[in-house]
Amino acid sequence: MYNRNMQYITATQLRTMSTDLFRALDEGKTVDLIRKSKIIAEIKPKIDKPKVFDAKRFLKLAEELNLPKTTPQQRERTYRNYLEKRYGKGISRH
């Protein structure tokens, strides 16, 4: 049975009450881990913060690379040569 007020869990209960622990973490709660009557750790959910795309920084990096401009046909030819070099000449066109 899930305890909504789960604030702590013992080392022994980790095996039997892991489902309750996961639910508490899914709700964003922090749970203390107790061993031999002492709090030895704090289990808290990991919150991933998405990285914000910085278009200006991206353009600056692209300019610093100073790559030559290529047409789609040139890119296709370069890729085709790479595939033939890696896998042999038996590669079909489509």
Mean pLDDT of the chain: 87
35 and 59 in a single domain? The answer is no
* Inside any domain, residue 94: no
Nearest partner of 23 among 39, 42, 40, 5, judged by Cα: 5
Report the number of distinct structural domains present in the chain. 2
CB neighbours (10 Å) of residue 54?
10
Task: Work out the average pLDDT over 66-84.
Answer: 91
Assess whether pLDDT exceeds 80 at residue 3: no
Q: Is residue 67 part of a domain?
A: yes
| 14 and 39 assigned to the same domain | yes
What average pLDDT score do residues 3-21 get?
A: 83
Distance, in Å, from the CA atom of 60 to the CA atom of 9, rounded to the nearest integer, reads 50
Q: Are residues 60 and 36 in the same domain?
A: no
Residues 6+ apart with CB under 8 A from 42: 30, 31, 32, 33
Could you read off the pLDDT of 21-38 as tens digits, one per residue?
A: 899 888 889 999 999 989
Average pLDDT rounded to a whole number, residues 46-52: 84
Provide the domain limits for residue 25.
Answer: 8-43
Per-residue pLDDT at 82: 92
pLDDT at 92: 67
